[in-house]
Structure 1
Amino acid sequence: MTWEIVGATIALTAFRLVWILKRPIPKDIPFYILPGLSNLRRLLRYDPDFSYVPYGLIWYVINVPIVRLARYNGRLWIVVLALIDVAFLWYISQFLGLTVFIAYVMIGTFQLFRAPWNASINWLIVLAPISWIFLALAPIAKLPVGLPVQVWGYTERAIGHQHNYIYYGLLGSLWLIVFNHLYFLQGIETSIVVGLGVLWTFILGYAYLERRAKRRESAP
């Protein structure tokens, strides 16, 4: 199966890179993500005028070197994330199995296209075979732990903003899949992944139709 995984990973990465290079990047990247990653001095002391990304200090520690490597170019940052993800795809195939690999491909690709700032949270989750501590670190990195307490208000607003519940939900789904694989019921792993896949198909379909309807209403 190793060569099949290698071939699938190469094809997937090529598809991802073509998409990233051809499609517009998410609007949150130039308006919120890059400004939030560019001024660490203002990060730890609250400034209401600062563009906080309401994630934890761990998230900043992971992403600041990557975004600096990309020279604060949003598209290049996503490209670097996609290339780093190749190592995690191989790792998952070796230590978490084919079912989790397929789930990660679906969730990780969607997140990479729509919410690439969550890629590093995905990485923490799938590192759980090394230690359970990574399953604990993932939500700590997702939430603004280590930032000024006022930033928690940004998180409350972010969860309900537009379709952010989808991104939080997908992270939660990946967390549950990995947790189940390592510590719970491996015998029904495929059923759980398929069930979540069906559920998310309906959720994403509904979100798409809702967004399309709003566009029609706002059209002149």
Structure 2
Amino acid sequence: MSWEVIGAIIGLTGLRLGWIVKRQVHKDISFYILPGLSNLRKVIRYDPEFSYVPYGLIWYAINVPIVRLGRYSGRFWMAVLALIDSLFLWYSFQYLGLTVFFVYVVIGTFQLLRAPWNASINWLIMLAPISWIFLLMAPIAKFPVGLPIQVWRYTGRAVGHQHNYIYFGLLGTLWLIVCNHLYLLPEIESSIVIGLGVVWCFIFVYAYLERRAGRRESMAEPLA
């Protein structure tokens, strides 16, 4: 089983890297993430004219060295995230089992390709077998803990912006599944995962229909 999993991880990482190389870098990375990671002094001191990335100092501590290594290239940053994430995929299989590994493959891949800024939050969650403290650190890193109090108002905007509720929800789902595996009811883990999977199917269908309806409205407006 181990060699099959290693092969699957290598194949998945190759597909992820291929997607990252061929697709255009997400505009949020260029307009918000990279400026935030390259202006840490403004982030800490608070500049009202600066567009903040409302994450905690732990998140900045993880991601700043990566973007500096790639000279603030969004594509390089995503590629490094994908390579590091492959190690966490293997770690999840070794210490959290096949079910959690499968969940992480699905959620981790979606987050990496659609919201790569959440990858390091996933890593903190997956380190929970070492200590429960990492489960505490994950939300601390996700929210602007350690930044000026004024930055918290950006968090409210971020949650309600477009489909960000999906990204927040997936992080919460991964957190819950890992926490359950380690500390709650691991004997019904499969049932919980299946139940949450069904719920997420409905959420994604709703998001798709909502987005489709929005496109129709935007196309109809010029004709009105």
User: CA deviation digits over 1:42-101, x for unaligned, max 9?
Assistant: 121111111210000000000000111121111111111000101101100100000000
CA distance in 2, matches of 1:213, 1:37: 35
What amino acid does structure 2 have at the position aligned with 1:157?
R
CA distance in 1, matches of 2:44, 2:68: 19
CA apart distance, 1:195: 1.2
Identity, % of aligned positions? 75
Structure 2 residue ranges without an equivalent (≥5): none
Secondary structure class of the residue paired with 1:105: helix
What amino acid does structure 1 have at the position aligned with 2:98?
L
CA apart distance, 1:31: 0.6
CA apart distance, 1:119: 0.2
**Structure 1 partner of 2:50:** 50
Structure 1 residue ranges without an equivalent (≥5): none
CA apart distance, 1:25: 2.3
Secondary structure class of the residue paired with 1:44: helix
Runs of 4+ aligned residues of structure 1 deviating over 4 Å after TM superposition are none
**Structure 2 partner of 1:217:** 217
TM-score, normalised by the number of residues in structure 1: 0.98
Secondary structure class of the residue paired with 1:123: helix
**Structure 2 partner of 1:113:** 113
User: CA deviation digits over 1:135-183, x for unaligned, max 9?
Assistant: 0000000000000000000001110111110000000000000000000
- Matching of residues 41-190 of structure 1 within 5 Å: 41-190=41-190
CA distance in 2, matches of 1:24, 1:206: 26
How many residue pairs match? The answer is: 220
- Matching of residues 1-20 of structure 1 within 5 Å: 1-20=1-20
CA distance in 2, matches of 1:82, 1:181: 25
**Structure 1 partner of 2:27:** 27
What amino acid does structure 2 have at the position aligned with 1:213?
A
CA apart distance, 1:205: 1.7
Deviates more, 1:204-213 or 1:151-160: 204-213
Secondary structure class of the residue paired with 2:48: coil
CA distance in 2, matches of 1:140, 1:204: 27
What amino acid does structure 2 have at the position aligned with 1:185?
L
User: CA deviation digits over 1:100-123, x for unaligned, max 9?
Assistant: 000000000000011000000000
Secondary structure class of the residue paired with 2:144: coil
